[in-house]
Structure 1
Amino acid sequence: MSTSPDTNWQDASPGSLSVTSMHANAFWVIGATTRDDRRKIVELAEARSLESGGDGAQKARAALTNPKGRLAQEVSWLPGVAPKKASQAVASVEERGLAVAYDEGLPPLARANLTAAAFELAQDLTPHQMAALAIKLAELVEAIDPATTLLDINEDRAIAGFPEVLDEAAVETELGDRRTAYKSAIKGALDRMESSRLVESMVLMVRQATDEGRTPALPLIDHLVDAYALEVEPILSARAERIALEIQGAVDFAPQGKAKVGVAISSIEEMSRAWCAIAKPVQLNAKARGTTDQSSFGLGAKIRSLGITLNNEHNMIELAERTTALVRELFADLPELAEIAGIDAEKLLEIKQSAIDAKRQDDEWANSITFRSEVGLLFKDALSIGPEGIQWKGRTYPLSSITALRWGGVRKSVNGIPTGTDYKIGIATENGSTLIELKKEATYTKFLDCLWRAVCVRLIVEMTQALKGGKALSFGSIEVSDTHAHLVRSKLFGFGDTVKLDWGHVHIWSANGKVVMASRDDKKVSGAASYIDHWNAHILEHVVRGAFKKGVGKLSDYLT
């Protein structure tokens, strides 16, 4: 899976330490080989005792002459390597350093044991070296074959005159102890690094070993990450509590405005990035296992919750986008949370786009209802309409305050000769009414066009809602409810009777400046409202004609 890293192995050579687990092996302690018989081992042990004193040599002799204890020494030595070459390899560990991991001339178990010894001596490894060498050792471990190891050990035992190992399971047990030793060797090298370089080494190691979380890591790396997770858990837990306090602070600041919340989020971003830098190896390895790191998920969920609160309760969509982007950036290796955050980002984008569209529509509407003109020949009055309301003769009438309208034109003539048209527009509020009188048709037409969009559309909606609510409305001699028109039967003398007609028996037209309604079956039953004199006659006509065109039996159904 990996090749020799591009690095200067002399720079990564061992430091001043001179004793490794290989140098503590019984074979090295008394200078024995795996092919020495019992008598030779005893002689070597006696000679070494005389040279160095102490009981180390005798313990080594006991370990090598006891068939059961001997197996542990054999597995942790160099099975399958000729005696002379084995002694040379161990002697050169300090000189060669971790380059031994790439010595293709040695069996996997021998290379793994020598590499672990080199890790015990290693100083000043770069994060890239550490990651590559740890993965290489993990690969060597996976290449070890218990059956081959058993065969190599029994070949040497046959020459040395020791009983063969009959149970391969015994070898597998010792190999399990070796895996623990390999993990300890790598961990020791990591512990000698500065904290930032240690974390970087672990991140690089897991990224490479899992192909960015796509495939499970080799067991040695997997166990190494578990050990790392246990050690950093107290640090991450304490920092997560501080981040949670900062998140709560951001929520508390929300009523005070975006500025303070933005500062809090900047702090959350900085603290969370530092947190996730430490947690990244654990996140990636969990992803490779098909699981989720719960500590990371919990923190990411809190940050996401902050964004939801800021958007839903305080309309701070830009700050919500920041927290969502932070979750997507830092917790991308938590598939479930990343998917949720992706959906959040899409929703926020939709909300933001909707706000932009609404703003554009508001601007377009404002432009469509904005008009200004000077009225009068000598003494001019300003007439204007816009989002802020209607301004006429120094007074302003907010659009929302207008409750009724009436308008129309009266043609004038002298001796049958047309002399022009007077245009009138009435505006009513709860506090009274005013009349706008105009001479120019262009001013009248443009003002009415804006007035229709600004006020009439609302009055149409309010009229249909009032009718739906059961109200009856009067316009001149016409009274209407949601389902009926109340018209008058004309008489030659006196007041006629009121006739109730459903809308299917009514027709409508315009004549002589009035909106007229009449019975389809009785020409004497009718009613009328003047456009220029009666409030909201135009609105009534629009609603009735619209309902007729739509073919509905209730006026309130016109807008449904």
Structure 2
Amino acid sequence: MDLLQNPFQLLTASPRDNRRRIMELADERSLLLDSSECMQARSDLTNPRKRLCAEVAWLPGIGPKRAGEMLSLLESSPSDLLGIDKLTSIARANLLAAGLSRLSNYTSDDVAEWIIEIAWAFEDIEPEELSGIINEERIVSGFPEVTDLSAVETEIQERRRHYRQVIKFALDNLSAKELVEAVTVAVESATDDGEEHGPILIADLVDSYEVEAQGFLEKEEGNIRALVEKLRAAVDAERPDSTLAPMMNQLIQVVRNWDTVAQPIQVSTKSRGLDHDASHRVAGLVRGLAIHMFNEHGKLDFSQQLTNMLQEVFAEVGEVAERTAEDADALGEIAEQRVRLIEDAKNKAEEWQREITYEADVGAIFKDKLRISPEGIEWKGRHWDLDSISRVRWGGTRHSVNGIPTGTTYSIIFGNGSNYASIELKKEAIYSNFIDRLWRAVGVRLLTEYLEGLRDGKKYRFGSAVMSDHGMELERKKLFGSNERVFCRWGELVIWDGAGVFCIGKKEDKKLAAAFSYQEEDNIHVLEAAIRMFWKRGGDRLSCLLGE
């Protein structure tokens, strides 16, 4: 029942008017209004049981003069009603409900403010207090007092239904976007963002809103599920990030749209200590995708995007918020570790670049530039990419005349499968500096390639010997008959140095051995480094040096 349709308003009567005065007013108003309506109003106000409905829907506790002023304001300027104070809770709730139904040109924030005020006014209504106010006026008017408190409580619940209808009518006059905004603002404000238990009318509002929004939420949940499955398939198919990024953006936007509509429901359920099952389902879908993208494919950035979004949109869903916060912390720590690793790798790369960079002038009169750097080796106008070099040799030869040392010549040879470069040096400093860089820039790579090949089952020939992962095949030379080839496991072999050669042979069998010249055979320094490292570490396979 609206205030302006209340029997007291139709007859211009007051709750303090007695039965005779009500009948007189009914006769007078019949001359101006529909007589049947006036007679019905008279009946409602003179029947004690029917009268209670009109009394609760009126302005209990407000004198006739002030009631008249407020009703005039209701008709002329309803927006000013919010500022009226010093009213009983029931009178304020009835007045604001009537005002809300008569507002014009209102925004979502306006509606939210009125909803909150009506909700709190209704929350403050106490049946005992209201019954006392009504009975005070009945004593004055001569009507029997209300003794059944349950009757008052029933009428209060009728008021609750009326307020719900008024609020729904106001919301229905908003656009869909404004409606969601109004309900969200009202719920968040009334519950302190879900931290406090809000008024019962706010819970009623959310329950009604949830029924209306159910179709949209279920449809969008289906879209979210489809997008998650599509993204999972795309990442499993190793689609490039340029393909995944727009799909990610679409998923995030759809989840945000879903959450915008679900927000007041989430806040309300939080304030009531309940779980919102749909939020758990949607968050579970997206969180599962984020975990899959990182654990199975190392997509840290995408996983962080999804997790950060979940933290933001499901902040009101306690368990989801806690779980995603843990995920975000874990991913953040991984991201920091990755940044540190990248920075360390960058620093090591820069250090390596500095360490392998060297240049010198070679020659007494006509000088040639010898240079090695990450860009490659330059010698006598030719450039060699470091990755193209597949063979290296180096060594020194001492010279003497009649037993008197006359100096040492240093030789460095490097090349690829078809060409090579040869460098002859006199200065030991240039030789030492260059081969140190050559080993770092090329030798270590060749060593790794040999070990990886051995691990994969390859074999490598050095002179007459054949190296495999488990040992060396050596050749025993015979004076008569063909030579004999014998495979020896690493544990059966020993190594030693000779004059300009690296030697390997079987223990206690001097005839089963091989010697490799550092200057005449390719990659002997690499072979020696691998075997000496292996001897130091131990094991049964040379490739175990890879640490796998």
Counterpart of 1:23 in 2: which secondary structure? helix
Other-structure match for 1:57: 38
Task: From 437, 441, 448, give the equivalent of 1:461.
Answer: 448
Aligned counterpart, 1:146: 127
Once the two structures are TM-superposed, the CA of residue 192 in structure 1 deviates from its matched residue by 7.0
Report the counterpart of residue 5 of structure 1 in structure 2.
none
**TM-score, normalisation: structure 2:** 0.75
For 1:111, the equivalent position in structure 2 comes to 92
Q: 1:420 aligns with which of 407, 424, 436?
A: 407
> How far 1:25 moved relative to its partner?
0.9
1:487: Cα distance to partner? Answer: 4.7
1:220 CA displacement = 1.9
> What's 2:328 paired with?
342
SS of 1:423's equivalent in the other structure is strand
Q: Which residue of 2 aligns with 1:7?
A: none
Alpha carbons 1:480, 1:486 under 8 Å: kept? yes
Shift of 1:108: 1.8
Q: CA deviation at 1:58?
A: 1.7
Shift of 1:141: 1.4
Which residue number in structure 2 is paired with residue 535 of structure 1? 522
Q: Which amino acid in structure 2 is aligned with residue 450 of structure 1?
A: R
Kept in 1: contact 2:221–2:282 (CA 8 A): no
Q: CA contact under 8 A between 1:279 and 1:296: conserved in structure 2?
A: no
CA distance in 2, matches of 1:159, 1:369: 108
Cα deviation digits, residues 197-240 of structure 1 (max 9, x gap): 77665554333222233344323223335556677889999999
Partner of 1:213: 194
- Secondary structure at 2:55 match in 1: helix
Instruction: Supply the distance in 1 between the matched residues of 2:153 and 2:118 (Cα, whole angstroms).
Output: 18
Q: What does the per-residue CA deviation read over 1:72-97, in whole Å, with 9 as the maximum and x for residues that have no partner?
A: 21221233556666556545556896
Conserved in 2, the CA contact under 8 Å of 1:206 and 1:212? yes
Which residue number corresponds to residue 42 of structure 1?
23
- Mapping of residues 108-507 of structure 1, within 5 Å: 108-122=89-103, 131-154=112-135, 156-157=137-138, 160=141, 167-186=148-167, 202-225=183-206, 281=264, 284-285=267-268, 287-288=270-271, 290-292=274-276, 294=278, 332-333=315-316, 336=320, 339=325, 342=328, 346=332, 354-476=341-463, 478-487=465-474, 500-507=487-494
How has the CA–CA distance of structure 1 residues 499 and 345 changed in structure 2, closer, same or farther, with 3 Å as cutoff?
closer
Counterpart check, 1:21 vs 2:2? yes
Corresponding residue SS for 1:422: strand
Q: Provide, for residues 130-165 of structure 1, a one-character-per-residue CA deviation record: whole Å limited to 9, x for no partner.
A: 545532332221221234334544555566565665
C-alpha distance in 2 between matches for 1:488 and 1:410: 28
Shift of 1:30: 0.9
SS at match of 1:135: helix
Aligned to 1:16: none
Deviation at 1:449, TM superposition (A): 2.4
Q: CA deviation at 1:109?
A: 1.7
**For residues 353 and 411 of structure 1, what CA distance do their matches in structure 2 show?**
49
**AA paired with 2:202?**
I
CA contact (8 A) 1:478 1:528 kept: no
Cα distance in 2 for residues equivalent to 1:372 and 1:55: 115
1:328–1:341 contact (8 Å) kept in structure 2: no
CA distance in 2, matches of 1:421, 1:493: 40
Structure-2 change in CA distance of 1:268 and 1:71 (3 Å): same
| Alpha-carbon distance in 2 for matches of 1:216, 1:167 | 30
Other-structure match for 1:33? 14
Which SS does the other structure have where 2:399 is aligned?
strand
Query: Cα distance 1:51–1:297, how it changes in 2: closer, same or farther (>3 A)?
Result: same
> Measured at CA, do residues 527 and 321 of structure 1 come closer, stay the same or move farther in structure 2, by a change above 3 Å?
same
2:60 is equivalent to residue 79 of structure 1: yes
Tell me which amino acid in the other structure corresponds to 1:421.
T
When structure 1 is superposed on structure 2, of 150-159 and 22-31 the one drifting more is: 150-159
TM-superposed CA distance for 1:56, in Å, is 2.6
Q: Corresponding residue for 1:3?
A: none
Which amino acid in the other structure matches residue 481 of structure 1? Answer: S
TM-score using structure 1 length:
0.74
The CA distance in 2 between the partners of 1:526 and 1:206, in whole Å, is 89
The answer to whether residue 534 in structure 2 is matched with residue 553 in structure 1 is: no
Does the aligned pair in 1 maintain the 2:362–2:369 contact within 8 Å? Answer: yes
| Contact kept? 2:279, 2:314, Cα under 8 Å | no
Aligned length: 537
RMSD of aligned alpha carbons: 5.1
Query: How far apart in 1 are the matches of 2:276 and 2:394?
Result: 70
Fraction of identical pairs, as percent: 37
1:119 and 1:106 mapped to 2: Cα distance?
A: 17
Instruction: Determine the C-alpha separation between the residues in 2 that align with 1:554 and 1:309.
Output: 37
Question: Is the Cα contact below 8 Å between 1:300 and 1:331 reproduced in 2?
Answer: no
C-alpha displacement at 1:416, in angstroms? 3.4
Q: Distance in 2 between matches of 1:230 and 1:499?
A: 86
Cα pair 1:101 1:114 within 8 Å, conserved: no
Q: What amino acid does structure 1 have at the position aligned with 2:119?
A: A
Amino acid at match of 1:444: Y
Judge conservation of contact 1:325–1:345 (CA < 8 Å) in 2.
no
